[in-house]
């Protein structure tokens, strides 16, 4: 059977570690040629190196998703180097302050909105315009969260951004589906990454307790999210559109 993303050109944000890095590795394994980006250049260079060691193709680029010009450079590099853009994984995100809503700072609120929400909107604008221009459509996957479906103590503003990402995803699906651009989101549960380890260390609870939050009794792995993302980007998911794919080991069943 052919690899799922054979011949596709893709971009990934926040690909320096965690879900973004492992998803890029899965996408490349499935045949996509990629521009991998992150605010941390050294880390995303390492991701590109891992991809090329595994036989794939990826160019690294420093991109702060909060800067519109960086996102423009990301789309432009994919098009200038590879000729087109078929799939985009808008993944970069931060968890922000672990504070109760009434104690949350204005600066913390603005930063979360800029990185987790405005950047996704800006990236989608650029990606959709490129996909429409080249014809033949494309697939966009945005990283939401189970925090886009339910609330969580100490993460109110984070949850607000992730709910809003689903609003952008579903509305764009309505607007661009007829022109061949599929737009979906992935909602990870508790995936063991540097972000989650930092969040847990701020709560005073143990990694072991958190690992049991999901009914499967363990953390998710970043590559398990990558499998879902690669599939959503592929033509095998051709009927899946405007969907929030929950990959949470059953966390939101209760």
Ligand X SMILES: NC(=O)c1ccc[n+]([C@@H]2O[C@H](COP(=O)([O-])OP(=O)(O)OC[C@H]3O[C@@H](n4cnc5c(N)ncnc54)[C@H](O)[C@@H]3O)[C@@H](O)[C@H]2O)c1
Enumerate the active-site residues.
158
Q: Residues 115, 140, 183, 213: which binds ligand X (CB under 6 A)?
A: 115
Residue 1: Cβ within 10 Å count: 3
Contact flag: residue 19 with ligand X (CB under 6 A): yes
Burial class (CB within 10 angstroms; exposed 0-12, middle 13-18, buried 19+) of 19:
buried
Residues 6+ apart with CB under 8 A from 68: 122
Tell me the three state secondary structure of residue 132. helix
CB of 36 to ligand X, least distance (A): 10
**Near ligand X by CB under 6 A, which window of 15-23, 78-86, 132-140, 170-178?**
15-23
Q: Which is nearer to ligand X, 121 or 177 (CB)?
A: 121
Decide: 9 and 80 in contact? Cβ < 8 Å: no
Identify the H or E element spanning 57: strand 57-62
Cα separation, 79 vs 21, in Å, equals 21
The region of 48-56, 85-93, 96-104, 149-157 touching ligand X under the rule CB under 6 A is: 85-93
* Least CB distance to ligand X at residue 220 (A): 7
Q: What is the 8-class DSSP label of residue 77? A: H
Q: CA–CA separation, 18 vs 147, rounded Å?
A: 17
**Per CB under 6 A, which of residues 214..253 are in contact with ligand X?**
none
Q: Is 83 in the site for ligand X (CB under 6 A)?
A: no
Per-residue DSSP letter, 136: S
Residue 79: what are its φ and ψ, rounded to 5°? -75, -40
CB of 202 to ligand X, least distance (A): 14
Site string for ligand X, 144-183 (x = CB under 6 A): -x--------------------------------------
Choice between 70 and 86, CB closer to ligand X = 70
DSSP 8-state class, residue 117:
I
60 makes contact with ligand X (CB under 6 A): no
Q: Contact between 32 and ligand X (CB under 6 A)?
A: no
Which lies closer to ligand X via its Cβ, residue 157 or residue 173?
157
The residues binding ligand X (CB under 6 A) are 13-14, 16-20, 38-40, 43, 63-66, 91-94, 115, 143, 145, 188, 190-191, 193-196
């Amino acid at each position: 059977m052919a690899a799922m993303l054979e011949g596709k050109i893709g971009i990934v944000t926040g690909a320096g570690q965690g879900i973004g890095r492992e998803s890029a590795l899965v996408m490349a394994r499935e045949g996509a040629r990629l521009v991998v980006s992150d605010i941390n250049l050294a880390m995303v260079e390492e991701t590109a190196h891992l991809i090329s060691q595994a036989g794939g193709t990826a160019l690294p680029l420093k991109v702060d998703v909060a800067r519109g010009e960086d996102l423009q450079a990301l789309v432009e590099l994919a098009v200038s180097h590879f000729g087109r853009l078929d799939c985009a994984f808008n993944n970069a995100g931060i968890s922000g302050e672990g504070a109760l809503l009434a104690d949350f700072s204005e600066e913390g609120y603005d930063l979360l909105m800029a990185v987790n929400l405005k950047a996704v909107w800006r990236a989608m604008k650029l990606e959709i315009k490129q996909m429409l221009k080249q014809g033949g459509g494309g697939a966009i996957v945005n990283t939401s969260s189970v925090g886009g479906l339910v609330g969580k103590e100490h993460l109110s503003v984070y949850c607000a951004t992730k709910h809003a990402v689903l609003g952008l995803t579903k509305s764009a699906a309505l607007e661009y589906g007829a022109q061949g651009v599929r737009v979906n989101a992935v909602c990870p549960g508790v995936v063991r990454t540097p972000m989650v380890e930092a969040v847990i260390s701020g709560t005073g609870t143990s990694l072991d307790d958190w690992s049991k939050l999901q009914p499967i009794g363990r953390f998710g792995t970043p590559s398990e999210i990558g499998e879902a993302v690669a599939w959503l980007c592929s033509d095998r998911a051709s009927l899946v559109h405007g969907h929030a794919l929950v990959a949470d080991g059953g966390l939101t069943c209760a």
